[in-house]
Amino acid sequence: MNYIIFDLEWNQSPEGKSGSDERMPFEIIEIGAVRLNEKREKTGEFQTLIKPQVYKWIHDSIRSVVHVDYKDLMSGATFPQAIRDFLDWCGEDFVFCTWGMQDLTELQRNLRYYDLLELLPGPVTYYDIQKLFSWFHENMKLRRSLEYAVDTLGIRKEKGFHRALEDAEYTAEVFCRLDMSEILPYYSVDTYQAPKNKKQEIYISYPAYDKYISRQFTDREKIIKDREVSSTRCPVCHLPAKRKLRWFINNSRIYESISVCQKHGSIKGKVRIRKTDDGMFYAVKTLKRVSEEKAEELREKRDSLRKKRRTKNQ
């Protein structure tokens, strides 16, 4: 299996939101990628400029960062040709790696705009190198910039940043310095193409927690009432856990709960409800063991929210 570390540069409406096409707010203008084999040895690279069709003038902020002018793009490939060339170059057996999660989402959004989404069936699994760097190198959830990671790991900065191929190369350098035995189980799932039916729903058991991605619903309010969405199982033994704190919604519009496994203690549940570009809704649920102190903090948080809402209603 190959690892395809890719990076995208994109343009947006120079007129701001008033001139933006909601179907594709960011138009890809460059693809850069590095291919690594299973030993994380470099076996190839890919780079192409793409001639814009939607936003035919480079936004000033984009030009100042990426240093690409519209004239540079006039000889580029069309997006349909560029993406076919890129996927052909990737081969058949590969997994994507990116710095953050936005590149993969915007790639699919651009594919959809050109009615080419079937070229990359989803949900798409990938490795988020930005997240993995934060988790395993700094032991924190804070998202860092690519240049920060390069500096932290002592990687030589022989090229600039904010061009697709150069950023892909730096991301590959960071990836190669992470402990594969630690990061390999923690693949991510991009849900731009969320599961459409129950058979496509996703269940993942990571070493530290479990994740479930539901099918799509037409009504947001019905999701938390769904039996599978609201159920809680221990992420260690996977047996049903008894609910101690019912699902409640916090100020971030996230549902939380506490359940108890007789063998493994308190289990914190978290459900985020997300919306697709089609106006459908789906849930992402995580279940994780927590200490009794953390469980009590969540109970106090629930009580405080209830008190504030009562006061507001009165």
The pLDDT tens digits for 74-128 are 888 999 999 999 999 999 999 999 999 999 999 999 999 999 999 999 999 999 9
Identify whether 123 is preceded by a cis peptide bond (ω within 30 of 0): yes
pLDDT in tens, 182-215: 999 999 999 999 999 999 999 999 999 999 999 9
Tell me the percentage of the chain whose pLDDT exceeds 90: 77
The pLDDT of 19-25, averaged and rounded, is 90
Q: Note whether 164 and 29 are within 8 A (CB).
A: no
- Tell me, what's the pLDDT at 290? 96
Distance CA 307, CA 303 (A): 6
Residues 235, 266: contact at Cβ < 8 Å? no
Average pLDDT over residues 52-62: 76
**Per DSSP, what are the bridge partners of residue 283?**
273
At 143-161, the pLDDT tens digits run 899 999 999 999 999 888 8
**CB pairs under 8 A, 24+ apart, for 296-303?**
298/245, 298/256, 298/258, 298/268, 299/245, 299/258, 301/250, 301/256, 302/245, 302/248, 302/256
Q: How confident is the model at residue 15 (pLDDT cuts 50, 70, 90)?
A: confident
Model-level pTM? Answer: 0.90
